[in-house]
């Protein structure tokens, strides 16, 4: 029987994430058969087998849906309205290093809009899920973002910033913004988005991501009450490579203005 409806798709994503976790569990960082992709990022046998496990379940239950995965690319389908976005190990470098900051990302778009997904971090036992209009959840707890609206109270976490650092004007504006924040951390990968959605951080900035890293997390933050765009303030799309996410729309607007204001 085909899985249908947002609750059904969330359930399918949860089962697929657990299947991926089981595939990953069969491997250890000292037995990874590490390869380098064209962009010099690592890929391991665990990444590949995890994505295969996800694809196998999706293809069995929703065979008409398209799939785009980190390791095996984009598979078209007869129903172009639905697209599953997969990153079987988001944070492969963390996984290789034995750090717990890696996750399994499985999201679903319908007609170009994120509608459901799961962000599963087995090492820390965090299963976050979301569906449009159904809120954002972490394990059995509904999430809500922080209402902080002033930069001086902002708890910021920054991820990859290489591209921003190479832009002298942008980097200077970012520095002025950081100097006004209450606290600065650099959690990275899925972890700071879970904390943002839970109200434990107030903003996240990254300049070097791809949609498979953040697809589910955009909806998770928004359904928890936050605002999530790229660094120019544009809605996130399949082509997005940067993030400005905040727990409140007011804080997001103030940060965006700060990042685009000359000294």
Measure the CA angle with vertex 73, ends 31 and 69; round to 5°.
65
Q: Strand runs (DSSP E) across the chain, as ranges?
A: 35-36, 42-43, 65-69, 73-75, 79-90, 103-110, 113-121, 126-131, 136-138, 141-142, 155-158, 183-185, 203-206, 227-229, 243-246
- How confident is the prediction along the chain (263 residues), in pLDDT tens digits per residue? 456 789 899 999 999 999 999 998 888 776 567 776 667 677 778 889 999 999 999 999 999 999 999 888 787 766 678 999 999 999 888 888 889 999 999 999 999 999 999 999 999 999 999 999 999 999 989 999 999 999 999 999 999 999 999 999 999 999 999 999 999 999 989 999 999 999 999 999 999 999 999 999 999 999 999 999 999 999 999 999 999 999 999 999 999 999 998 86
What predicted TM-score, i.e. pTM, was given to this entire model? 0.93
How confident is the model at residue 94, as a pLDDT?
Answer: 87
Query: Is 39 in a helix, a strand, or coil?
Result: coil
How confident is the model at residue 262, as a pLDDT?
Answer: 80
Q: CATH number for the 151-259 domain, one of 3.40.50.720, 3.40.630.30, 3.40.190.80, 3.30.750.80? A: 3.40.190.80
How confident is the model at residue 186, as a pLDDT?
Answer: 93
How confident is the model at residue 73, as a pLDDT?
Answer: 78
How confident is the model at residue 1, as a pLDDT?
Answer: 42
How confident is the model at residue 74, as a pLDDT?
Answer: 81
How confident is the model at residue 40, as a pLDDT?
Answer: 67
How confident is the model at residue 79, as a pLDDT?
Answer: 62
- Annotate 66-94 with b (16+ C-beta within 10 A) or e (fewer): bbbbbbeeeeebeeeebbbbbbbbbbbeb
Q: Do 5-134 and 151-259 share a fold?
A: no
154 exposure class (CB count in 10 Å sphere: 0-12, 13-18, 19+): buried
Provide CB contacts within 8 A for 52, sequence distance 6+: 23, 72
CATH topology of domain 5-134: Fructose-1,6-Bisphosphatase; Chain A, domain 1 (3.30.540)
Domain positions in the chain are 5-134, 151-259
Structure tokens belonging to residue 215: 């697809």
Alpha-carbon 73 to chain mean position: 18
HEC string of 175-204 equals: HHHHHHCCEEECCCCCHHHHHHHCCCCCEE
d(CA 257, CA 46): 42
């Amino acid at each position: 029987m085909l899985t249908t409806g947002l609750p059904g798709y969330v359930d399918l994503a949860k089962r697929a994430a657990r299947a991926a976790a089981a595939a990953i569990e069969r491997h250890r960082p000292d037995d990874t058969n590490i390869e380098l992709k064209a962009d010099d990022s690592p890929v391991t046998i665990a990444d590949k087998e995890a994505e295969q496990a996800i694809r196998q379940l999706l293809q069995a239950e929703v065979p008409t849906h398209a799939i785009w995965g980190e390791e095996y690319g984009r598979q078209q389908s007869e129903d172009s309205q639905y697209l599953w976005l997969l990153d079987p190990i988001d944070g492969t470098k963390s996984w290789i290093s034995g750090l717990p900051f890696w996750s399994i990302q499985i999201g679903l778009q319908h007609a170009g809009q994120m509608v459901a997904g799961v962000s599963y971090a087995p090492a820390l036992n965090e299963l976050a899920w979301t569906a449009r209009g159904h809120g954002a959840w972490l394990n059995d707890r509904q999430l809500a973002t922080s209402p902080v609206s002033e930069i001086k109270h902002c708890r910021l976490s920054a991820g990859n910033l290489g591209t921003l650092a190479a832009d002298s004007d942008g980097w200077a504006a970012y520095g002025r913004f950081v100097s006004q924040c209450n606290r600065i951390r650099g959690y990275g990968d899925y972890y700071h988005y879970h904390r943002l959605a839970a109200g434990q951080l107030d903003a996240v900035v990254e300049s070097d991501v791809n949609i498979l890293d953040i697809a589910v997390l955009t909806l998770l933050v928004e359904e928890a009450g936050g605002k999530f765009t790229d660094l120019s303030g544009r809605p996130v799309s399949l082509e997005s490579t940067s993030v400005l996410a905040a727990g409140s729309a007011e804080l997001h607007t103030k940060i965006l203005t700060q990042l685009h204001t000359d000294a």
